[in-house]
Structure 1
Amino acid sequence: MQMSDTRQIAAQPKDVYAALLNPDVLKACVPGATEVTGNASDGFEASVTQKVGPVKATFKGQVTLSDLIENESLTITGEGKGGAAGFAKGGAEVRMRAKDGGTELSYDVEAKVGGKLAQLGSRIIDGFAKKMADKFFSNLQETLEGPAEQGDDGGDTETKKGWLGRLTGKE
């Protein structure tokens, strides 16, 4: 299963890049993540619990970052085993560029599953993989920008505080 998308994030490319290297941000962004430890150079250990159709499993695995070009691009690759449910593996090529005072983030995702999960059929798996990727990048956007206020047109930065602001105490 492959998919691509682009989204505009109200943060500078250097902040988006730094967020993708931070295990706390990854834990907040990966749907169902219960633990993410490690670092960008050695890789991350992750534990993720998800329900795909009738199959619920906790996947334990590794996430590695490669092809790192600071503030421009990186590749995220992950593989996890979910016991009797099977395995899941995939990756995303992520590109960032400054645009309209923020960052245009584009990504290409590829995902594969095996075991019981593969028996669910490609429509269920493809839909789930797309939902997971969309949720990850939506969570990343919200983490960087702060939660959107009702009626917010995206321009009121005083009411938002992203992850960098929360860490430094600045808005």
Structure 2
Amino acid sequence: MELTQQQSLPVSQAQAWEALNDITLLQAAIPGCEGITPTGDNQYEVLVLAAIGPVKAKFKGKLQLENLQAPTSYTIRFEGQGGAAGHGKGSADIRLEANGPRETVLHYTAKASVGGKIAQIGSRLVDMAAQKMATEFFDKFKAALQERYQVAPEPAPVTAPQGLFARIAAWFKRLFG
């Protein structure tokens, strides 16, 4: 499986880097994460409850950060065991690009392989589960950034009615105030 995407973060590059290295913030943002424990320099043990299709399991894994280029990029190497559910391993390249004083674009490419029951489910379900987890992570991560750095959420776009209905609505508004 390979997943390549980018996300716009509402903070400076330095703030994004700080948040990406904050264990407490990451634990709260990672779906199903029950713990992240440092085990050495840039090494962590992670406990995650994950559901991939009909298979639900608690995965115990190891993370290692490599190629750290603060505040621009790093690589995460990971491997995990989910007992009878199977196992997985892979890496993710993370790169931060400043796009102004209060916006940073996070680029990532994750590559992973799975084995055991998870592999038997099929790559389509595994890819969908990975995409869902990434979406949930970034939703929570952005909300945490907004709270931590007092960033106002983006306002919902205002759309004006168009065509005949807009003219009728305006006419009623003028008549009945």
Within 2, Cα distance between the matches of 1:95 and 1:150? 23
| Structure 1 residue identity aligned to 2:132 | K
More displaced stretch, 50-59 vs 140-149: 140-149
Structure 1 unaligned segments of length 5 or more: list them.
155-171
Matched residues, percent identical?
36
The one-character-per-residue Cα deviations of 1:45-98 (angstroms, maximum 9, x if unpaired) are: 110001111111000011111111001011112111000001122221111111
Kindly report the root-mean-square deviation, in angstroms, between the aligned alpha carbons of the 2 structures. Answer: 2.3
**Aligned in 2, Cα 1:151/1:137: closer, same or farther, shift over 3 Å?**
closer
CA contact (8 A) 1:109 1:133 kept: no
- 1:121 alignment partner in structure 2: 122
Within 1, Cα distance between the matches of 2:61 and 2:52? 17
Superposed counterparts of 1:137-156, under 5 Å: 137-146=138-147, 152=155
Within 1, Cα distance between the matches of 2:135 and 2:59? 19
Q: Residue 100 of structure 1: CA displacement?
A: 3.0
CA contact (8 A) 1:21 1:39 kept: no
Q: TM-score, normalised by structure 1?
A: 0.81
Q: Does 1:109 align with 2:110?
A: yes
Q: Residue 17 of structure 1: CA displacement?
A: 1.0
Within 2, Cα distance between the matches of 1:35 and 1:125? 23
| Structure 2 residue identity aligned to 1:152 | P
- 1:21 alignment partner in structure 2: 21
Q: TM-score, normalised by structure 2?
A: 0.79
Q: Which of 1 and 2 has greater Rg?
A: 2
CA contact (8 A) 2:146 2:153 kept: no
- 1:35 alignment partner in structure 2: 35
| Structure 1 residue identity aligned to 2:49 | T
Within 1, Cα distance between the matches of 2:96 and 2:64? 18
**Aligned in 2, Cα 1:44/1:151: closer, same or farther, shift over 3 Å?**
closer
DSSP-derived class of the 1:136 partner? helix
Q: Residue 43 of structure 1: CA displacement?
A: 0.8
Superposed counterparts of 1:24-103, under 5 Å: 24-38=24-38, 41-101=41-101, 102-103=103-104
